[in-house]
Every structure is written in structure tokens, then in C-alpha cells.
Chains A and B, each alone.
Chain A
């Protein structure tokens, strides 16, 4: 499969979205809304759930299924209040010692007037900073599109995993093509250049694990994810908070160190 085939698969209609993963991987999900500052961003879903006896806080970017739902969820592109809502739940998780699991699927943080007025850059930056030293385990899984800063804002974690057909990049292939060749039809070449597939990112040392997919039926993927998350959280929740945060910083610290 070419890099662009992966992009197409990650964006495909009918691909399960954040809420599908929440309900199929966890039990007893209770959704909790709002950032307590401005409003409730439906592009971000947050709440509590169980995973085989472990209490977790779950955060997911949600694109929606049908057109009506997609519009109400802004196609999974969050505003600042979405990132602040996620951070509020993560800080509650820290208070009560619950691990955090994030499912990431977005073409990017929303680019609009309201998003800028309410500090999109500041909201993302705040998440990056606070997540780095959060005193509970964080695990992030890219399930579809990982669009730049808007994806990273929920992916500062102890481990980052990608589904086989998910992608994660600094800019969309369309954006890259129009900057590089002033020609957005060169998206296929751009996708190749950006090194955005799960395999590329694994080779670059940016992710820890690739979760296999089995066609259109995700039941086996959910099962493997469930087992994987349980195993990782079981280990990480026993680590002292300081060690957990230090490991997380070291994980990102080593990315892109060249030579000496």
C-alpha cells in the first residue's frame, strides 16, 4: 500500500470513529461535557469508563458518522474549548489517580475566526505542557487521521500507538503539495515525502506500536487494543508519578537529536 492509500483508508467513510473505539474497548462509559470556561466542544468526547477492573479517563476526537452528526461535531476539528475540556478531564484523572487513554482522529485543530479569538495556539500549548508532567499514565492511540498540532495536543503520552491504517503528520499531504509544488494534485507524492504512515513513524522512533487491522471488521482490532491497553496500563499505573513523568519527557526528549 502506498502512503496515499493509507491516507485514503484513514479518511474512509464507514471507518469507526472515536466513540466506536470507546464503546468497543471499554465498559460503563459515562460521558462528561464541557470545559467550564466557554462551552462544550462536540469534536472532543470525554468521560469515565472501566477496562477490565481499571478505572480510566477517556478522551477522543470524534468526527461523527452521518452528515448531520459530522456537522455537529465540526468533522472532528476541535476548537480551543475542546482541548481545554480534554485537559480538565485529564487533571481530574490526575486528582483521582486514574490513567488516561486518548483516541486521536482529526484532520487538524479548527482554523477559524472563533478558534483564533479564543486562543487555539494557547490551548494546544497548554495541553502539551501539562500532559508532559501529568502524574498518571497517559496512552494515546491514533485511530485515523493525526493532523498536526491538533492531534499532538492529545498525544503527549507515555506511549503512542497507531492503527495500521492511520496516519500522523505535521501538515496534510494537500497542504504540503500546494506549498512544495504549488499544485495540490501532487498529493500522492507529498504523502510519500512526509513519512506519515504507521510503519514510517515506527521506524523513526516516534511511536511504540502498530495495531493491526483486519479489513472492515474491527472486532479483532478492538480485542487486541483492549488487551494491549490493559497490559500497558497495568504496568504503568504501578510506577511512581515522578518516574512516569521523567520517562515521558525522556521519550520526547530523544526525538530528533542529531549527532552529538
Chain B
């Protein structure tokens, strides 16, 4: 059953997040122009913003923060955020972790590396989580693990599909073994959601690696990937150091994973909402 507050009015700026939001989006180039790393074309920042942070010349997908993705994917005003009160603490007294967290909060304007909530995508209700690369490269510590676990539990209780946008460097070193345990915890929540017959759709974006790939990243029923995203278990540098040779071009890119059979489909940013809605419609309850 859907919870009543799924459709309530936004209570604050974070929930409304719409075009009227006055919030700044730090780390997005504030200069007039940026250089496309792929085609070396000079692009106007405004034009890039209008084009979902995709290079209009060559289609290179620039990194996007979590709120921008929310804007792109959720129906306007439909998002209702959950568990935003959870804040990371330095549980194992890891050196300089508090400073790291402070910097990450400034850089991302988020409290943690994932945003969770309920939303509608082209009218289809779902539970949604969106990770943020600007918060310690989307690494998973106890709060990220807890929030992901809770959103899956919420979706299981309410028979909702889960749509997750993933970007992560893996488990968060600064929380030691507790981060590693989040891989098992989130996987358990995904399994229970799945056993109850619900759909989990993951969108893997650049980069998705380490402990997140090896847990809820690869556990979705349908795995969508953004073009050219780096997706893997070990990072390319670690592999090069281990095997002492250069990696072939295109290794661990979305297209490579599709070829090897680990990704269902690659979808450009501009088509993602339509494609997700279509996939949700295939799995909508009470339809056949």
C-alpha cells in the first residue's frame, strides 16, 4: 500500500528541489566555459546545463550531482525525501575523518553521499535513491548503507519498485570494517525486496566500482548504464599495478560490460526518464 504522505506537498526546499530552488550547486564549473575532455570542444556552461550536462558536440556525459539527477528523473514536485536526518560520525576514530566529512558536505551541499525518498517517474510511483559523487566519491559508510537498507525495506513494506542511480568509489575506508559490513546489509535488504516480488532497477553511472559494484550495484533485476561509464570491481589503477601491464582501451566501460553480459542496456541521459518509465510500466502492479 502506498503511504499517504507520498503525495503530500513539499515541506521545505530540499523536498521541492524544483526549478525555483535557489540553492547553489557547487563544484559545477561556475566559469562561463568548460572544455569537453572527450572532444576538446569549448562549451558554454549554460548550454551544457541545458543539455543535461552532456556535451552537445560529442555526447560526452559530464558528472552530475544528485539533486540535478533528481530534477531530471522525478516528476516535478513528486519527490519526498526520507532519512535525511542521518549523519555520519567518526565511529572508529579514523584520522581526519571529521574534516573529510565537513569538506564533503560543503562540496556537495548534501549531508551524505546518497539521497533517498519516494517519487513518481512519469506517473509511476517508486522508491528512489540517488548517489552523489561530490560527497567523498559516493563512498559507502554506515550512513549510506543504512539509508539504502531503509529505502529497500520501505519499498518492500509498500510494494514499490526501487530505482537507484549509482555512482561510487566503493566502501568508505574511513569507517573500516563497518563499511564492509554495509555490503552484506544492503544485499540482504535487496534480497528481501526481490523475494517479495518487487522490481529493482539500477542505473550505473561513472564511476561505479569496489564494494558498491560488489553489492547493490550488481544486484538489480535490470541494470542500465550511462554511456562510457567506468564500471568494475577493482579500479583500473589497482589492476595495472597488480598485473604490471596497460589495460586495453575501453576496458571496464559500460559498453564492455554490456558485451560481457553484465549490463542490460546502455541509455543516454536524455532518454533515461522515458526508458525507466517504460520499464516501470512493464512491472506496474495490477497490469499484465
Binding site for B on A (CB under 8 A): 109-113, 115-122, 124-126, 128-130, 132-133, 148-149, 152-153, 155-156, 168-171, 176, 179-180, 193-196, 200-201, 204, 206, 248-249, 252-253, 255-260
Contacts and interface: CB of A to CB of B under 8 A. Distances in A.
Interface residue SS majority, chain B: helix
Contact of B171 (A122, A148, A257, A260): A148
A195 to B, nearest CB: 5
A222 B194 CA distance: 39
B95 interface: yes
Contacts, number: 178
Contact of A196 (B91, B175, B176, B260): B176
A130 B187 CA distance: 9
A109 B211 contact: no
Given A204-B178, A249-B192, A252-B188, A170 B211 contact: yes
Interface in B71-113: 85-89, 91-92, 94-95
Nearest to B211: A149
Given A121-B233, A129-B190, A170-B171, A256 B91 contact: yes
B238 interface: yes
> Number of contact residues on B: which range applies?
35 or more
Contacts of A115: 233-234
Given A121-B233, A128-B215, A133-B191, A257 B142 contact: yes
B177 A119 contact: no
Interface stretch (B3-11, B20-28, B58-66, B216-224): B216-224
Contact of B218 (A121, A170, A176, A252): A121
B164 interface: no
A125 B183 CA distance: 8
